[in-house]
Chain A
Amino acid sequence: MSLWEYANPRRFMRLTDIVLPWSAGGAALLMTVGLIWGFFFTPDDYEQGSTVKIIFIHVPAAMLAINTWFMMLVTSLVWLIRRHHVSALAAKAAAPVGVTMTLIALFTGAIWGEPMWGTYWAWDPRLTSFMILFVFYLGYIALWAAIEDPDTAADLTSILCIVGSVFAFLSRYAVMFWNQGLHQGASLSLDKAQHVADVFSNPLYVSIAGFILFFIAMVLLRTRTEIRARRMSALIARERQEAA
């Protein structure tokens, strides 16, 4: 029994039958707890006032926006190397979730930026990087939509994802070189001193866990939909072949 067994659509469906309700339920619970705790049971920041509370949405969305792309990169590589269909479909399923998270991060960042920096948008390296990530997502999704044959689409989008990752990474360093920026450092990090007081970080962790479970539930749900769509077209093709 190895991990690769779940690359078989049938086994994947059976496993996710069990996992999906738990992750969806967990996401609902943790997001509710994390957000209510964060919004209503934390004090106002002495500098930022209550605007700081947007981090409970902004930070998890931003984390997912980037990590979704990493997940797509990994699943694309798995598809190209081991040709597991579920892997390619998971990448396809994740992209719209990732682009939504990117948009949420950009919008909440703009709403937060106005009281903090006095502007909704600045060409700060972090903000710009997210904008760039957004256009990479758009290209990837558009390519999936444009190609009819599913395996061809999986191959070409995977190649695009790999080359795109390299250039998205280069772009990140390019914009850091190009403008030094306003944005504070990462809000959470393992090795550096904490930037966020404990009173904020605990509900933030809950909220992040909720967002991650939400992401898992969404990707599983969407992958299941894609698998069903592929099965449907395979069944139709078989019927047509048998009739001929």
Chain B
Amino acid sequence: MIALLRRDLALALRSGGGFGLSLAFFLIVVMFVPFGIGPNSATLATIAPGILWIGALLACLLSLDRIFQLDYEDGSLDLLATAPLPLEGVVAMKALAHWLTTGLPLTLAAPLLGFLLNLPAGGYFWMFLSLLVGTPALSFLGTFGAAITVGLKRGGLLLSLLVLPLYIPTLIFGAQSVTLHLQQLSNATAFSVLAAISLFTFALIPFAAARALRVNLR
């Protein structure tokens, strides 16, 4: 399992698309918000948690179609499916690799981009923590979408259409974890449900995605 994770990380690093692209995209989305709604700091401060969450979520989408597509095209996926590691394990490792190259860098960058949006001082810790806990769910759900669309020639747009609705609960509870805290309210429920959704996706998605992969390989 570790071998697969190491290979995917090496591939992400060497092909250059891994960390860089989604981070750059995240920066651009965040930069566009003041252009779209005006530079008023008070307005930006109110919407900052939501914008950072939406930006991270969209940046996460960008690299999803690469999770299985390249392995499918060069035959590696056939070979992985006949290797001793169960496909469920392959899915989990692929999702983890995607998170390490996308979700984690986005989480680390979010507090910095928070400055640009005038995120109030109390929000940084929860912004970081909610993304840290919530982005793995985005990677796992995205891996599921990638497994469903792997056999399709132009699956990219469809992948977004399938995956984005699945992101709704994570987005709501993630952004609420920050917003409620900024409104001096308890965010305990929102944050624990966010964590629960992530744990739930770890448990459920490998099986669903492996099933979809088997269908696509036969």
- For B160, the closest partner residue in chain A by CB is A139
B176 and A167: CB pair below 8 A? no
A160 and B162: CB pair below 8 A? yes
Report chain A residues within 8 Å CB of B109: none
- For A171, the closest partner residue in chain B by CB is B168
Whether A156 touches B216, Cβ cut-off 8 Å, given contacts A163-B208, A178-B176, is yes
B173 and A143: CB pair below 8 A? no
Per-residue B-contact encoding for A144-157, CB less than 8 Å = 1, 0 else: 00110000100110
Which residue of A138, A147, A170, A171 is within 8 Å of B151 (Cβ)?
Answer: A147
Query: In chain B between 145 and 174, which residues have their CB closer than 8 angstroms to a CB of chain A?
Result: 148-149, 151-152, 155, 158, 161-162, 164-166, 168-169, 172-173
B215 and A163: CB pair below 8 A? no
A132 and B152: CB pair below 8 A? no
Query: In chain A between 128 and 186, which residues have their CB closer than 8 angstroms to a CB of chain B?
Result: 132, 135-136, 138-139, 142-143, 146-147, 152, 155-156, 159-160, 162-164, 166-168, 170-171, 173-175, 177-178
For chain B, the bracket of interface size reads 20 to 34
Interface centre among B155, B169, B190, B205, by most A CB within 10 Å?
B169
A196 and B192 CA atoms in complex are apart in Å by 38
3 closest A-B pairs by beta carbon, nearest first, are A174-B172, A170-B169, A174-B169
Report chain B residues within 8 Å CB of A147: 151-152
A88 and B169 CA atoms in complex are apart in Å by 28
- For A133, the closest partner residue in chain B by CB is B165
Query: Which of B's residues lie within 8 Å of A, judged by CB?
Result: 141, 144, 148-149, 151-152, 155, 158, 161-162, 164-166, 168-169, 172-173, 176, 189-190, 193, 197, 204-205, 208, 211-212, 215-216
A166 and B215 CA atoms in complex are apart in Å by 21
A164 and B165: CB pair below 8 A? yes
For chain A, the bracket of interface size reads 20 to 34
A177 and B190: CB pair below 8 A? yes
A162 and B173: CB pair below 8 A? no
Whether A163 touches B165, Cβ cut-off 8 Å, given contacts A147-B152, A156-B216, A174-B172, is no
Show 21 residue pairs from A and B whose CB-CB distance is below 8 angstroms, ordered by the A residue. A142-B158, A143-B148, A143-B158, A143-B162, A155-B215, A159-B148, A159-B212, A163-B204, A166-B204, A167-B141, A167-B165, A171-B169, A173-B169, A174-B168, A174-B193, A175-B168, A177-B172, A177-B173, A177-B190, A177-B193, A178-B172
